A and B are shown apart, each in its own frame.
Chain A
Amino acid sequence: MNPFTLNRPETVDAAVRSVTGYLRPAFIAGGTNILDLMKENVEHPTHLIGLNKLPLNTIEATADGGLRLGATATNADTAWHPEVQQRYPLLSQAILAGASPQLRNMATNGGNLMQRTRCYYFYDTATPCNKREPGSGCGAIGGFNRIHAILGASKHCIATHPSDMCIALAALEAVVHVKSKDGERQIKFEDFHRLPDDQPERDNTLEPGELITAIELPAKGFAEHFSYLKLRDRQSYAFALVSVAAALELNGNTITDARLALGGVAHKPWRDKKAEALLIGQPATEATFRQAAEAVMKDAVGQGLNDFKIELGKRAIVRALKQATAGEHKAADIFTNSNP
């Protein structure tokens, strides 16, 4: 970990102004990812702007019936918030499927979006990684790539986005509010994270100096028919090999609206609108779900050790949609049932 200076502004304006004059400024909120990466000598900020005094830790209703999640509200406070549990249980379940209680108490909503990949090669400075060191090559291609991407990867990077929370946010069509010293803007969730292409060092579309201030959930929460299914190498405290956020609206047995997003398979939360379209208007049957699953994985490409994710992903999609249809997940047991 290299030396850095630190300030702890009390207003958002002061925070976004704090980036000026430093070689590599960075925001720190929960710190759970950036400090980890600083100790691994992957991140080298020269100045940290501590966000935990900012008044951004609230969760409140929006005028149009949605919910605004403050950027520095913790993942735990968000997951257990009564409004989130009742109206957006998919989000609660996804958050609680990730990390550990301690980490969720520290990690913030904004920080969750900023999480970097868990790719072994990204973390290990003894190996090449285009994301960490552009132009050095991708160690994972041709290497130990069991946990890597099957969708949207490039010849420069096959890393995956590690978040669970973001998979639910993608399915719920959240909107990210950001601010810099030059002004504010809103980014649709699907446009927030990006695919690696030839710039894997860029995880998202934030501009330098921009700070996430809030994540807004639209009114529609799919609280009746949802499922967050997570497949991993142990029952808890592990990243997803494949995860599925499924949300349905049903009229009788007919699907009237559908959302489908996958984690652990791509450089970003992988939402597939084409597959969703295949579900809408159809009966909620296994055959329909299979069709959607096949559509999601139509262009999937394995890297060898992760080939299994293609078939596993399809089966997970079908299972998640079945569970969502059955509406069997309840807020009360939401933190013990993301594991099949």
Chain B
Amino acid sequence: MSTSSSNTNYVGKAPNRVEGPAKVTGAAKYSGEFEVPDLVYGVVVSSPIAKGKILKIHADKVLSLPGVLQVFSHENVPHQAWFDRNYKDDVAPGGSPFRPLHDDEVKFSQQPVALVVADTFEVARYAASILEIEYKEEKHETDIESQRDKGHAPSKGKSGYKPPSSRGNAAKAIEKAEHRIRHEYIHGTQHHNPMELYASTVHYHPDGKLTIYDKTQGVLNCQQYVTKVFGLSKDEARVINLYNGGAFGSGLRPQYELFLSVMAALELRRSVRVTLTRQQMFSIGHRPHTLQTLEMGTNPDGTLAGLKHYALHETSRFEEYTENVVNWSGMLYQCDNVQLGNQVAALDVYTPQDMRAPGAATGSFALEVAMDEMAYAAGLDPVDFRLRNYAETDQSEKLPFSSKRLRECYRQGAEKFGWDRRPLKPRSMREGNKLVGWGMAGGVWDAQMQKAAAKASITADGKLTVTSAAGENGTGTYTIMTQIAAETLGLPLEAVTFKLGDTDMPEAPVQGGSWTAASVGTAVQKACLAVADKLLKQAKKMDDSPLKGADLEDVEFVNGLIRLRKAPEQSVVLRDVLQVSGERQIEADSTAIPNLLNMARYSMHSHNAVFAEVQVDEELGTIHVTRVVNALAIGRVLNPKTARSQVLGSVVWGISMALMEETVTDHRFGRYMNHNLSEYHVPTNADIRDIDVIFVEEEDPYVNPLGVKGVGELGLLGVAAAINNAVFHATGKRVRDLPIYIDKLL
């Protein structure tokens, strides 16, 4: 890539989102919005009970309504694939996946038990509302509190899950320590609640083939699921997702609207749309209710003597969902005596589902509040305490970090925030009648890369099209891929179109884990370089070409030119090359794979430090988060505008997690009671004040060719803990179960 200044150097710049005009004008089409001919509508009927059997579905009455086409349930759905494994998607945890409308068993409240299809949405909705179903209720258990001593270590199986490893003798070290703390930390169930409702529009073509517009973070995962479950060929089930109205992990696995709409389309031989209700959005996976215990002790010099972290979280009866809750505690700080444990317990709930920074959001909340408690027990400033325990290497993996500029995050974050003016003692700052508190925390997240492919194609008019079956959830994928492609071939942004979200495109991983920039970005760069190589070959064939004898390393693609690095005035115009070549287009496919050698040699992670200010009205228990500074080391920042937006959004999520977000269950009914956006509180504009984002410069030559680490999840880490710690600093009260509602501060 070019090093000299030029206007086609886009990487690291902040152009507006290339898909932005489509989004701000309403032209962007989401899954439930595609117009297809003769569309009919399916509405899902959800179980009112948490466990039991369906005795009878009285469909007759409903079927007699004009406009109703069919009532699908286990009573009449033809058996699809026989084997569990056919329902297993790429990111399924171990166990037996839920099969919609498979049999008479109810396994969780709000389980889909029928699909009513009618020629209008309104008729389908009405028919679904009056469909009478008889159930035999069985005793259920949905409360993790009932499982305190009944957890078990999860079986290995879910991709990405690493059983925690212990070292030294933490119990003994803590016993001998100068200062000790031991506390329990809890957060309840949380639901992703993206703004877009899960929806699938299945276009049934005259030849029986399907084009499926589905809300998902992985079109290929959905295609794989649909083909296996329904016995279709890939050619018969094309899955498309051009825009995803938020997901945060909820779209990693195929959701039941996909199964139901495809099933109905195949059975009725018609195009079908199924859109879930907001209430049903609480039946598609969640961050699990988790109980954690942290125990720590310090030596007289303020170093950690020992650390114990134990977590218990829920899973369903049929799948063993797990997440890395405690592992972070073994690597964020230097400590020779660490004991970690992670257990799960099965309940009559739907399987939890990865939700933004799964495991880390949970574990680092507990760890970072405990670190604050430990700092106070030892009489140390929380930043100073962390610096005394700074991990120079990854002790869990016994590897050096590929790069780690967390110290710089602490420094720059503290400076921007004004941390040096902070009195250590709680209750020492006031503004008007409000107590003011400052707190800080931090986080660590995996810098991952997955195998990904892309195809680049440039036409004679100089227009470049790059494709990859990746996803766009608002993370900026369209924009950064366009930037990478434009810069690699020295083209203006306007000459580049990046397309994604179609199973006809080259393979990309599911849009999660903060790995899209690294994985798809590298593939895009590689495909464009392959095109560059072909272009250079053509250029060298031109009469009097100044590039004769040059290799790809000797030239740069800048400003629509191919020029010699050592003699930039020696160049050819890219368009001339295309014209002269006589080719209508020049294209190349490329697949990028992670560097396994580097992965074996280095621990690859991103880090951050968060500083928060709260104002607390002690008498009334109200909390305002007035300032947040989030300093992050994420390797190279491809687009500071879209990256910053991801961090701003993460901070909003952290505020939400700290103060208001929780799905509450009435365990008598085994049912989520606040399953709507009126009572499941997420922040409004009025809840958000000043947020500062700092990207600490970090070069990482090992993590991947682009040097990027991803940012979608890291930004959330530390936020809830920093707010929690700030509330303690303001009030002297420590709240260890989230969210910190008014009632908990009274």
Give A contacts to B, CB under 8 Å: 1-3, 39, 41, 118, 120-121, 123-127, 139, 142-144, 146-147, 231, 233-239, 241, 308, 311-312, 315-316, 319, 339-340
Contact = CB atoms under 8 A, between A and B. Distances in A.
B137 to A, nearest CB: 11
Contact of B681 (A41, A120, A125, A238): A238
Contacts of A234: 659-660, 681, 683-684, 686-687
Nearest to B617: A340
Contact of A231 (B125, B620, B624, B676): B620
Interface in B638-673: 659-660, 664-666, 668-669, 671, 673
B686 A231 contact: no
Nearest to A40: B279
Given A118-B678, A120-B679, A126 B126 contact: no
Given A124-B671, A231-B622, A312-B742, 5 more contacts: A120-B666, A120-B673, A144-B673, A239-B678, A339-B622
A315 B619 contact: yes
Contacts of B679: 118, 120, 147
Contacts of A308: 742-743, 746
A143 B681 contact: no
Given A143-B666, A312-B746, A340-B622, A236 B684 contact: yes
B664 to A, nearest CB: 5
A125 B48 contact: yes
Which of B665, B668, B673 has the largest count of A CB atoms less than 10 A from its CB? B673
B48 A126 contact: yes
A52 B126 CA distance: 26
Nearest to B621: A312
28 contacts: A1-B125, A1-B126, A1-B129, A39-B125, A120-B666, A120-B674, A120-B679, A126-B109, A126-B671, A143-B666, A144-B665, A144-B674, A231-B620, A231-B621, A231-B622, A233-B681, A234-B660, A234-B681, A234-B683, A234-B684, A234-B687, A236-B686, A237-B684, A238-B678, A238-B681, A308-B746, A312-B742, A339-B622
Contacts of B659: 234
A139 B742 contact: no
B669 A236 contact: no
B419 interface: no
B122 interface: yes
A139 B666 contact: yes
Best-buried of A142, A234, A236, A312 by chain B (most CB within 10 Å) = A234
Name the residue among B126, B617, B679 with the largest chain A CB count within 10 angstroms.
B679
A126 B669 contact: yes
A231 B742 contact: yes
Contacts of B687: 234-236
A312 B620 contact: yes
B620 A142 contact: no
B98 interface: no
Contacts of A125: 48
A144 B743 contact: no
B674 to A, nearest CB: 6
A127 B50 CA distance: 12
B318 interface: no
Nearest to B277: A39
B40 to A, nearest CB: 18
Interface in B661-706: 664-666, 668-669, 671, 673-676, 678-679, 681, 683-687
Interface string B314-345: 00000000000000000000000000000000
A147 B620 CA distance: 16
Interface string B92-122: 0000000000000000010000000000001
A312 B743 contact: yes
Contacts of B681: 233-234, 238
Where chain B touches its partner, the secondary structure class is loop
B129 A2 contact: yes
Contacts of B675: 124
A39 B121 CA distance: 12
A1 B621 CA distance: 40
A237 B675 CA distance: 16
B163 to A, nearest CB: 35
Contact of A319 (B130, B619, B678, B684): B619
Contacts of B685: 236
A120 B676 CA distance: 10
A235 B684 contact: yes
Chain B CB within 10 A, most for which of A121, A144, A238: A144
Nearest to B669: A127
Given A120-B674, A127-B669, A239-B678, A3 B620 contact: no
Contacts of B620: 231, 312, 315-316, 319, 340
B741 interface: yes
A10 B660 CA distance: 45
Q: What 6 A-B pairs are tightest by C-beta distance, nearest first?
A: A126-B48, A308-B743, A236-B686, A235-B686, A120-B673, A236-B684
Contacts of B683: 234
B742 A142 contact: no
B432 to A, nearest CB: 11
Nearest to B674: A120
Contacts of A126: 48-49, 109, 669, 671
Contact of B673 (A124, A142, A233, A237): A124
A248 to B, nearest CB: 20
Contact of A144 (B125, B126, B664): B664
A3 B126 contact: yes
B480 to A, nearest CB: 33
Contact of A41 (B129, B665, B668): B129
A236 B122 CA distance: 32
B746 to A, nearest CB: 6
Nearest to A127: B669
Nearest to B128: A41
Interface string B567-601: 00000000000000000000000000000000000
Nearest to A39: B125
Nearest to A128: B669
Contacts of A118: 678-679
A235 B685 CA distance: 9
A234 B622 CA distance: 9
B684 A127 contact: no
B666 A1 contact: no
Contacts of A124: 671, 673, 675
B741 A233 contact: yes
Given A126-B109, A238-B681, A316-B620, A233 B48 contact: no
Contacts of B741: 233
B660 A233 contact: yes
Contacts of B49: 126
Nearest to B677: A237
Contacts of B109: 126
Nearest to B125: A1
Contacts of A39: 125
Contacts of B660: 233-234
Nearest to A309: B743
Interface in B436-466: none
Interface in B126-152: 126, 129-130
A294 B130 CA distance: 49
Contact of B122 (A1, A127, A147, A315): A1
A146 B660 CA distance: 14
A15 B167 CA distance: 78
Which among A142, A239, A340 has the greatest number of chain B C-beta atoms within 10 A?
Answer: A340
A235 B624 CA distance: 9
A147 B126 CA distance: 30
B664 A241 contact: no
Given A1-B125, A236-B686, A142 B668 contact: yes
Contacts of A123: 676
A326 to B, nearest CB: 12
A143 to B, nearest CB: 5
Given A312-B746, A340-B617, A144 B666 contact: yes
A102 B668 CA distance: 36
Contacts of B130: 2
